[in-house]
Structures are given as C-alpha cells and as structure tokens.
C-alpha cells in the first residue's frame, strides 16, 4: 500500500464492512465507485479555486464528467499504466453494458467506463495517490486544465 490517507480502510472500520477480494469485483462495480471518486476529485479542484454559485461550479466541472473527456484521458494513459492497471482497463472496456450512452459513442462510453473502473480499483485498494497521479498525467497530456 502507498502512503497517504487510506480512506476505504477508514470507511470499512467505521461501518464494520468485511474485507473482500476486490479482484473479483465486476468491472462495472469498480466503475460505479470510480465514477464517484472521479467526480469528487473534479469537484474538489473546482471548489478549491474559489467560492462561487453552485451553477457556476457545475458548469466548470461538467466538461470533465463527459464520456468524451474521460475517453481522451483513458487514451492518454494507455502508455502510463502498469500491467495490473492495463488489465483493469481492458476488463472495464470489455464489460457487458446494460445501458446506452447519452451524448457519446459506444466506444467513448466503453473507454470512459474503463477509466472509471481503474479509478474504482485503485481507490478500493487504497491507492489514491496513484489515482491522482494518473488523472493529472491524463489531463495534462490532453491539454486540459483542471
């Protein structure tokens, strides 16, 4: 485990959750939590830039939550990930979807889900520093500013 706040461990302890083998989780389960972690990171950065009306905060952060943006970050990270992380990305991209993407192509949606699955996996394994490192690299490689 990397240094830093072990948020999932604290949550498990506080609520009496059993430790589980995260490697057995479906990629869509990992993406479910990864979507939330990604959104929390984006919103935290936006809020830290200054106190504004909620609709202005939402407008500033909305572009980063689109499947197309997450797809670009996914593509920027393909040569930055470890073998273990690449496996999670592959599983996320190949997951069997039960919903259709709004405002995104199926390919963009699959890649966005893969990115969210990786974020969820890293979060649940206590590697938030790696999540932040990868997102920073991906966002910078895409020429975006968060």
Q: 61-70 burial by CB neighbour count: b if 16+ within 10 A, else e? A: beebeebebb
DSSP 58-95: HHHHHGGGSHHHHHHHHHHHTTTS-HHHHHHHHHHHT-
87 is catalytic: no
- Given the residues 21, 35, 87, 145, the one annotated as active site: 35
* Residues with active-site annotation: 35
């Amino acid at each position: 485990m990397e240094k830093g706040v072990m948020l999932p461990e604290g949550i498990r302890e506080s609520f009496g959750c059993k430790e589980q083998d995260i490697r057995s989780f479906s990629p869509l389960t990992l993406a479910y939590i990864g979507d939330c972690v990604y959104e929390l990171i984006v919103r935290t950065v936006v809020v830290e830039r200054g106190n504004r009306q909620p609709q202005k905060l939402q407008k500033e952060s909305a572009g980063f939550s689109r499947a197309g943006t997450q797809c670009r970050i996914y593509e920027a990270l393909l040569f930055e990930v470890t073998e273990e992380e690449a496996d999670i990305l592959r599983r996320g991209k190949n997951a069997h979807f039960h919903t259709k993407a709004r405002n995104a192509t199926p390919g963009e949606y699959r890649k966005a889900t893969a990115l969210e699955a990786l974020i969820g996996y890293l979060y649940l394994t206590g590697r938030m520093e790696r999540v932040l490192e990868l997102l920073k690299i991906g966002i910078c490689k895409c020429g975006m500013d968060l």
